[in-house]
Each structure stands twice: as structure tokens, then as C-alpha cells.
Structure 1
Amino acid sequence: MNICLAVSVLSFSGCSDFLDRESYGRDTSWKTDEDVMKAVYALYYFVSPNWSEQICGRGHMWFECASDNILIGRDRPAVDEIREFRMSPSNDQDVQEVWGVMYQNVAKANNIIKLVPDLGITPSVKKLALGSAYFFRGFSMLWMVPYYGDDTNGGIPIILDTTPMDAMDSPRPDHVLKNYDQIIQDFRDAAEELPYFSELSADQYGLPHKAAAWAFAARAALYAAQYDQSYYDIVIEMCDKVMSLTGADKRSLYIDPSDKSKSFANLWRKEQNHSSEYIFSLEGDVTNGARYHGVTFVNAGWGLYNTWGYYTPSKELWDAFEEGDQRREATILYPGNHVRFMGRDITFGGYCTDGSITSYTTSHVSAGLINQKFISPWETGSYSEVSNQRDKLWNTLNCCLMRYADVMLMKAEALIWTKGEGDAEAKNLLDDIRERAGLPRDSRATKAQLQNERRCELAFEFQPSRHIDVVRWGLAEEYYSKPLHSVVSKMVDGRIETEEVEVYPGRTFNPTYNKVFPIPQTAFNGTVNLTQNKGY
């Protein structure tokens, strides 16, 4: 049974609060390999049809609207609260759902870790189940911790398989590093149990494997390093484990063998779903899966398909790319440029065959810019690539949450921050990324260059987060004080002309409070010891 099908057909009960106490009772129905694998597939509940919109379509991506990469493509007062750092705990956007769903996942993982070792099942299935449980316990916490825990407020509740019932509602850890330590340990434990990717059968693609565990451990350590730079040593250790893989497990940048100049653009096609660059993804499917790809494209898809247009690029992001950077046009559709959508060739900002102009309007921005990084499933208009339920947005492109370029950037950052700007190995890593983007191999491996390469390479990906990066580098107060812009376009004598316009004024970011967002009000159901983040 493939991952998407397994998640679609299995139904799992919810819980009344994030502690999910009932899940800790022994499940006497687990007797066979198949029973245990159903429990493993339950760890993907967050991307099931129940949550593919709220968790994996938008969810914490609303927090990315606080970054300098993204403008809000549609009027959303509750999202204005987020980007202006005046969010209330009762904010009704999808972010409120993530806490409960991810703590349910922690409870499911804890059940597997607690119960499976004593079951008389096939040893390889036991190891895969335990490894998956450790992986998803760490993964679920890493999904939340950077947004809710810091050095001012402490961490967020740590609930393990060994946590006694009477200690489940305990005070928050006094520092978020305790969360990161637990997350890193979970990924280390996961890697000990999990197979290599090459050892997974085709119908198991989408399950975690050693390289994924090591890469996510590196990400957790990268985020922890803002509080203690010794964590950069763990980043290097974990990245080296991924980068030293050989043979069928070797990870590398995708280079299109037929046209190197299109390598970055063609990375975002279903043919690369399990390529050497995709390290961990949510499996794409036309009847189930993350909806994020269609969420980002132009609102209403020019009447051809109901894409949603919630997140649009800022002019500042466009300007961050160097001239000749192939990633810019692969990521952003600029007025006058072409896109193929639902079987049509469209000149954005130009005249359609019926004489209308291909633009869209909200109170924020007319025409503007569009993220087109993930639009390949919609090119042909074939419903074998996208859901025929035109408001569901399911599609065949995997939602990649960790790829090899990110591993390279994480290691380069760790080298620059620990060994100094100009480090030779960091230069080589950045030059490899630049060369794939069609840029010269002239990296200086400065902090500023690393930060900009990370911005351009990873823009609009569901994970990692530009906002988290800006905050952990200590740049948010400066960057967010500046206005954000877009462009408007018009036809003049048959030519498309653009004009830069200010969309948002600068904002005030308070580094004491605004490093984190308020814990959603619903998280306080069933607990007396959980405390809200200061300033909210």
C-alpha cells in the first residue's frame, strides 16, 4: 500500500486536547506486521484529506507572511495581525490547528515507541516502525518549536513515551534548547533504526530513512545555534553524514541532463519526486496530499482552475536575485513573462485572446508578482496531474520539505559562523549552488552572501522558513522596519510596462517578544500549567 493511499483510507480518532491522554492505553489490537504499519501510516494524519488544507496547505505558512519575501495575496485581516506582530491567541487562521494535530502525532509516536518493542513481529518491520516513530516525534515538535519557544518564554511541553500520566501537564521547559536537544536526540535515534532510502521498496517511498533523519537533525541544530553556537558542530556532523552517502543513497544537486540551464526549474517536476535532491517529501497525488502548491499560485487561476493566490512574492525578493540567476524566473512570474497553465500559454500582464488583461486585483496589489515555482502539474490541464475537484488543489508534485541544497546551505552556514567568512569549503558549497543557478563560481562565503543565497534558493518552500531565518540571524528588527513593494502593470502601445508600488509600510519588530507567536487559545484545553508567550 503506497503512502498516499494508506493515509487516505485509514481513519484515526482525534482527541479533546493536545495531551491526548487516551492514546497512552495499551492497544491490544496490534498483533501483526500489518497492524503496526497501519500505526506508522497514522503518523501521516497531518497530511490526510482531513488536514491537507489546514496543516499542509496553509497552516504555519501564514507565519511566513511576516517575512520580507511574501505579500498577502488576498484580503485577510487575521493575517494582517500576524504580519504586523499583533496576533491574538484567538486568531482564527489555520495556524490554530497545527498545535493540536502535531501533539496528536507525538502521542501516536509515543504509543509506537512504548508498545512495539514487546511485539512479536518481523524485526525489520519493528525497526522501521520505531525509527518512524522517533522521526515523527522529532519532526512534529520541530514543526512547532521555532514558532512558540525561545529563551524568553522557554520551550513548549515535552511529552515522551516515558512521561507519567500525572506529569503530562507540566510547566514549560525553562529554555527552548531543551526542546531542540530532545528533537535532535529523536532524529539520532530514528537514524539508528531506519533503513537507507535504497532499502525502501517503491511502495514505501515517502517513509523516513536515515538521510532524512540526519538532515532534520541538522535543521534542529541550525535553529538551536541562535542560542548557543556550539550547535553548529552538530549541524556539520549531521550534514556530513548526508553528504558522505555513496552509491544508490548518494544525495546531490539535481542537474537536468538534457538542458543544464533549466535544472532549477525542472527540479520542481514530478519526475524528480524521488531524485537525489529530494531528501524528504510529502507524497503528491491527485486524490490526496498537501495542497500548498496550488495555494500559492494566482487567485482563481484566470478562470481556468481554482488556485488560491494567498502568498505572493515581494519586489524585495525579486531584487534579491542577481541578474542571470535562473532561480528568479523559475520562482517568480513577472509581468511580461510567460507561463503555461491548464494547457494555455499566458503572457502575464498582457492581453488574452479575448482582449482581456491577465492580471488580478486585491486591495493590496494589482497585477503584482506570482509564485510559479510549483506550478508544473497544472501545465497541461490534464486531470491525471491535478485533482478534478478544482478547489482541492491536490497534485502529483511531491511537497518537498528537505532537499540536498538545504543541507549544503546549512553546512556552509555552520562553517562560516564557526571558521569565519571566506572558509574554503563553504565557498565550494555555495559555488556549487550558484553554478546550478547559472551564476559564476565567485562566492566569497560571507555571512551576507550565505543569507542571500539561502533566501533565493529556498524561497516559498513549505519548509524551511525565511521568517525563522531572519529572526534567528538577529536581522528582523532592521529588515522588517522597511516597506515592502510590488509592481503594477499596464499596456502602453502594445507593450507591458510596470511601476513599483509600496504595498506595506515598515513594521515594528520587538526582539524581546516577537521572536515567537502566541500559542493558540485552543492549546489551553485540558491543561492548567501551560503559559502563554509574553507580550500576547
Structure 2
Amino acid sequence: MKKILNNLLILSASLLLGSCSNKLDILPEGAVSESNFWRTSDDAVLGANAMYQPFDGEEFYGRGYMWFINASDDMVTGRINTNVDAIKNFSSTYYSSSYTVDQWNMRYSVIRRANDVISKIPAISMDATLKNRLMGEAYFLSGLMYFQLAYNYGDSRAGLPIITRENNNDPNPTPRAANVDANYTYIESELKKAAKLLPMLAQLGTANYGRPHKVAAWGYLSKMYLYKKDYVNAEKYADSVINFGNRALLDNYGDVFKAANNYSSEYIWSAVSTAKGAAGWGSILPGVMLENKGWGKYNGWGYYQPTKELYDAYETGDTRREVTILKPGDKFMFFGVENTYSSVNSLSGYQFRKYMEPFSYASPVGSHISSNGDHPTTDLNVPLLRYAEILLIKAEAALMQNKNADKEINLVRRRAGLENISNATMADLKKQRRCELAGEWADRHRDLVRWGDAQAVYAQPLHGFSGSVIWPSRTFNPAVHHVWAVPQKEIDRSNGIITQNQGW
């Protein structure tokens, strides 16, 4: 991944391979044509690297996608913003707003680039091991992008358009699949092919850490099956990670969120990020969650602030709470100086703490945090899927089959400084997912939706540190709001071939 980052930082001005005016154009286009590309091993590597270019977009893993997760009861929008308030309130006015409108397009751009890799690389005469790895990366990213699209936009009434190698260059719009199960079937196929071709993490070599590996494919297969409610296979692939993945919990929960441990035993898949270059590269989430204006030292954006409901969800003695949340009066390091936390603009009075390690150092700009506060990347890879979640997927799948899940739940509890429990229930599982994964891409909102809890939870107001109401109760209609609205520009672009989700 270091090689990918170096290439993308160097080539960002030319947007890779040519003179495309739109950074999301599918390669190869522009100055490089089909006739003179996809011929050599170097072409194959460069073509595969291009799949990652959209990951630097601030809306990809930094802000836009997080607005969907922000709908949960764990956090509130830090500053008044009409567009994003509409998202949190499930208002039909949100779907034309700028923050989430490109989620669909960005992920399909990765899918189309992955399809090119899968179509073109087999004919290239090159090292077989490298060829398999690059093909595996493409299958993995295709499956992952479809998964992130499917659970946000697809349901039993309409799935997502399936762009395959066969129709990748068809200029005609592709209609939506009949239902989301069709997408899950396709995702299953893509991720299984990825798992077959990809090496284990240790076989990648440190220079390629951050690229897909076999255990990441197993992990996302497990999570996909959980969402599909295929609990037998969810458990099966979680067991593959647990028994054969060489993964383990770190002893100290706080160590998970240190850049030095980006590729620790708990790592499964993360948003690779760097502070290097003119504006850094990767996820801007740590900067987005930082106090607005960063107490005068850095351009924090002041979004996604914890609620009192989240703070109070932790049991007495749970060490994860202090790692996860800053409350007024807490001590923390910022730019090499110990500070006492207070906020001049946090709606809730709290701030997420788990992504703040890069800001703790003296003179961190350029080494730990981006020199461009308008693109506040850091050297911390924001976790997207980690081993603790795999344990909790295994536990949930077991409970849904009326099996005992004490072993997995207690592994997570003990690391948090809590005592073992016996005969764990779904209520125990739900609490552990919330407290372990708060503020992460595990997606508390999606958990509440798939458990059938969203309507009741969102009917309650949210509170801040002082105990006052900071967000009123909301109306969540399970028949409509279980999926998000298809971006209107995608419907318009397809001349209505792509249809809106019912009720939006």
C-alpha cells in the first residue's frame, strides 16, 4: 500500500494514466487507450492501483458516508447544517444534498475499475503470483463496494444495478436487480473468488500492507452473511478468521487506535491514510470529528459528537468509555501539551476520543496530521472491520441459532476490564457491539435497523452532557427508512431506468 500511496500522491494532479477531466472516470480513458495499455506487468499494477484513487475523496470514508452512521442514537451533528440534519431526521429532502449524493457513483467507479482489472489482466504475460494477487484485489473491492451499496440502498423490493465484466462498458443504464438477495449472491461470488486468489496478510510483505488479503475476504463474507441473516455461513466464515486468520485482540483497547498498530493482530481492513504530501491522502474522519477549529491549532470540523445515551451505555469499570469519549474535565494530549477538555461548539459537550492519537504529538503537522486542514488526513488508518467485530459477528450468529456465545462475548468483555457473564443474550450482544464499536464503520444505525430496534430507539430524544435535550425524537418508518434514498442524480442520469426506493 505504500507503493499505491506514493503513486497516487505523485500522480494525483494528472489523475492517473491520462487527461481525464472527471476524477471518477473509468480507466483506461483519455490519453491512454485500449490499444496501448493493459500489455505489461507494470500496466497491470498501475491499473489495479487506480481502483484505490476514489478512496481519497472526503466523502468516501471521511465524511459523506458517515452521515448515514450519524443517524444513530450514538452521535449528533456537531453544527447546524440543513442538509445533514435532514439525513438524521429521515427527511425526504436529504437525497439531493451534496454530502451523500456521490456515495453511489464513487463506489460504482471502483467497481468498474475492478471489472477492467478482472477482464484485462488475464491476457497479460506476467508473474502468476502477482497476477493472482491483483485479480484477488479486484474481486475483493468489487464485492466490498457492492456490499456497502447493498445494505444502504437495497431491500426485498429492489436491489442495486449489477455491473459485471460483460456489461461494464455498456452505455445504456443498467436497471436495479430484482432484490437485494441478488446482490448478496453476487457479492458472495466476488468475495469467494477473492479469498481463493488473495494471499494471507503475512505473505503480502509490509510494503503491501493495506492491500486486500485472504482474511479480509473471509471477514466480509461473514459480515455479509450476517446482514443476509444466513447465520450458519456467518458463523462459518467468522470461524475461518478466528481459527485460521492469525488474528487476536490486542491486550489494551486503546492501542487499537494508535498509528503504530495500524496492522496489528486486530487489523482486518481499514481506510489506509497518510499525512504525507501536500494534502495527505485517505480518510479525513479524525479531523472531521475533532473540535471545530481545533482550539485554534488545527482546522477540526466539529462533526459526529457522542450523546449522553452512548456515554451512559457503558458499565461501571468499562475501560472503553474513556478511550472512546472525551467529557468536560478529562485530560488529554494535544500538540504535545496536556489539556483539560472543554468545547466552545460541541452540541453534546462530548467529543469522540478514539481517533485523536495523531493530534497528541508536539509539531504533528506533516508527520502525523495533514498540512492541509481542509483535507485533515492523519497517519492513523481508521478501522473498517477489526477482529473484535468478527468475534461479535460469531457471537450474534451463534445466538440467532440458539447456541451459546459466552466465549466470544467474554473475550471482548475481559479486554474491557469487565467480568465474564453466563448464558449471554442478544441484549448482551447488542450492548457489546455498541460499546466496542462506537463511532466506527461497524454502523450502529444499520445494527438498529436490522435488529428491528430503530423505530423505538429513534422515538426517544437525545441528550448532551448537561442532561438537556439536544436532538428531538424522530419518526422512523421501518417500511421506508430501512434503506436510504437513491441519489436523485442517478435516477436522472439513467432517464428513470434506475428507480427510487419506495416511500422516498
Structure 1 and Structure 2 fold alike (TM over 0.5): yes
Q: Which residue of 253, 264, 280 corresponds with 1:264?
A: 253
Alignment of 1:437-448 (within 5 A): 437-448=416-427
Residue 224 of structure 1 corresponds to which residue in structure 2? Answer: 228
Residue identity in the other structure for 1:535: G
Q: Which residue of 302, 306, 315 corresponds with 1:313?
A: 306
List, as ranges, runs of 4+ consecutive aligned residues in structure 1 with deviation greater than 3 Å: 12-23, 25-28, 164-168
Q: Which residue of 41, 44, 59 corresponds with 2:49?
A: 41
Residue 376 of structure 1 corresponds to which residue in structure 2? Answer: 357
Q: Retained in 2: the 8 A contact 1:2–1:205? A: no
Quote the Cα distance in structure 2 between the aligned partners of 1:376 and 1:119: 44
Cα deviation per residue 1:185-211 (whole Å; 9 max; x = unaligned)?
Answer: 111110111111111122111100000
Residue 455 of structure 2 corresponds to which residue in structure 1? Answer: 477
User: SS of the residue aligned with 1:2?
Assistant: helix
Matched, 1:3 2:8: no
Alignment of 1:393-408 (within 5 A): 393-408=376-391
Q: Retained in 2: the 8 A contact 1:325–1:439? A: yes
Q: Retained in 2: the 8 A contact 1:88–1:518? A: no
Matched, 1:96 2:96: no
Distance 1:170 1:282, change over 3 A: closer
Cα deviation per residue 1:440-477 (whole Å; 9 max; x = unaligned)?
Answer: 0125320111011001101111x221101100000011
Matched, 1:125 2:130: yes
User: SS of the residue aligned with 1:419?
Assistant: coil
Distance 1:176 1:207, change over 3 A: same
Distance 1:329 1:416, change over 3 A: same
Distance 1:510 1:209, change over 3 A: same
How far has the Cα of 1:361 moved from its partner? Answer: 2.6
Quote the Cα distance in structure 2 between the aligned partners of 1:439 and 1:159: 47
User: SS of the residue aligned with 1:444?
Assistant: coil
Q: Retained in 1: the 8 A contact 2:119–2:165? A: yes
Q: Retained in 1: the 8 A contact 2:173–2:494? A: yes
Distance 1:391 1:342, change over 3 A: farther
How far has the Cα of 1:347 moved from its partner? Answer: 1.2
Quote the Cα distance in structure 2 between the aligned partners of 1:509 and 1:27: 52
Residue identity in the other structure for 2:298: Y
Residue 233 of structure 1 corresponds to which residue in structure 2? Answer: 232
Q: Which moved more, 1:107-116 or 1:279-288?
A: 279-288
User: SS of the residue aligned with 1:516?
Assistant: coil
Quote the Cα distance in structure 2 between the aligned partners of 1:195 and 1:241: 14
Residue 412 of structure 1 corresponds to which residue in structure 2? Answer: 395
Quote the Cα distance in structure 1 between the aligned partners of 2:92 and 2:196: 40
Residue identity in the other structure for 1:162: E
How far has the Cα of 1:524 moved from its partner? Answer: 2.6
How far has the Cα of 1:157 moved from its partner? Answer: 0.4
Residue identity in the other structure for 1:501: S
Quote the Cα distance in structure 2 between the aligned partners of 1:503 and 1:89: 20
How far has the Cα of 1:166 moved from its partner? Answer: 5.4
Matched, 1:112 2:120: no
Residue 330 of structure 1 corresponds to which residue in structure 2? Answer: 323
Cα deviation per residue 1:294-344 (whole Å; 9 max; x = unaligned)?
Answer: 111221111121111110001100111101100001000011211111122
Distance 1:167 1:17, change over 3 A: farther
Quote the Cα distance in structure 2 between the aligned partners of 1:394 and 1:112: 28
Residue identity in the other structure for 2:287: G
Residue 458 of structure 1 corresponds to which residue in structure 2? Answer: 437
Quote the Cα distance in structure 1 between the aligned partners of 2:172 and 2:144: 20
Residue identity in the other structure for 2:274: D
Q: Retained in 2: the 8 A contact 1:343–1:380? A: yes
Residue identity in the other structure for 1:87: S
Q: Which residue of 385, 390, 407 corresponds with 1:428?
A: 407
Residue 247 of structure 2 corresponds to which residue in structure 1? Answer: 251
Matched, 1:212 2:216: yes
How far has the Cα of 1:184 moved from its partner? Answer: 1.7
Residue identity in the other structure for 2:415: R
How far has the Cα of 1:2 moved from its partner? Answer: 2.3
Q: Retained in 1: the 8 A contact 2:368–2:378? A: yes
Q: Retained in 2: the 8 A contact 1:89–1:521? A: no
Matched, 1:30 2:38: yes
Cα deviation per residue 1:500-527 (whole Å; 9 max; x = unaligned)?
Answer: 1111121111111011111112213542
Distance 1:313 1:468, change over 3 A: same
Quote the Cα distance in structure 1 between the aligned partners of 2:83 and 2:181: 30
Identity of paired residues, percent? 35
Alignment of 1:143-222 (within 5 A): 143-152=148-157, 154-163=158-167, 169-222=173-226
Q: Retained in 1: the 8 A contact 2:27–2:47? A: no
Q: Which residue of 247, 268, 274 corresponds with 1:279?
A: 268
Residue identity in the other structure for 2:53: Y
Residue identity in the other structure for 2:501: N
Q: Which moved more, 1:32-41 or 1:320-329?
A: 32-41
Residue 77 of structure 1 corresponds to which residue in structure 2? Answer: 82
Residue identity in the other structure for 1:289: G
Q: Which moved more, 1:30-39 or 1:452-461?
A: 30-39
How far has the Cα of 1:392 moved from its partner? Answer: 2.5
Residue 352 of structure 1 corresponds to which residue in structure 2? Answer: none
Q: Which moved more, 1:132-141 or 1:83-92?
A: 83-92
RMSD: 2.2
Residue 241 of structure 2 corresponds to which residue in structure 1? Answer: 242
Give ranges in structure 1 of 5+ residues lacking alignment.
Answer: 226-230, 256-262, 349-357, 488-498
Quote the Cα distance in structure 1 between the aligned partners of 2:35 and 2:72: 44
Distance 1:438 1:21, change over 3 A: closer
Matched, 1:468 2:446: yes
Q: Retained in 1: the 8 A contact 2:273–2:380? A: yes
Quote the Cα distance in structure 1 between the aligned partners of 2:392 and 2:291: 30
Cα deviation per residue 1:254-293 (whole Å; 9 max; x = unaligned)?
Answer: 11xxxxxxx1112210111111101112223112221111
How far has the Cα of 1:26 moved from its partner? Answer: 4.3
Q: Retained in 1: the 8 A contact 2:268–2:385? A: yes
Q: Which moved more, 1:102-111 or 1:9-18?
A: 9-18
User: SS of the residue aligned with 2:98?
Assistant: coil
Normalised to the residue count of structure 2, the TM-score between the two structures is 0.92
Q: Retained in 2: the 8 A contact 1:4–1:289? A: no
How far has the Cα of 1:92 moved from its partner? Answer: 2.0
User: SS of the residue aligned with 2:467?
Assistant: strand
Cα deviation per residue 1:156-180 (whole Å; 9 max; x = unaligned)?
Answer: 1011112375596233122111111
Distance 1:321 1:108, change over 3 A: same
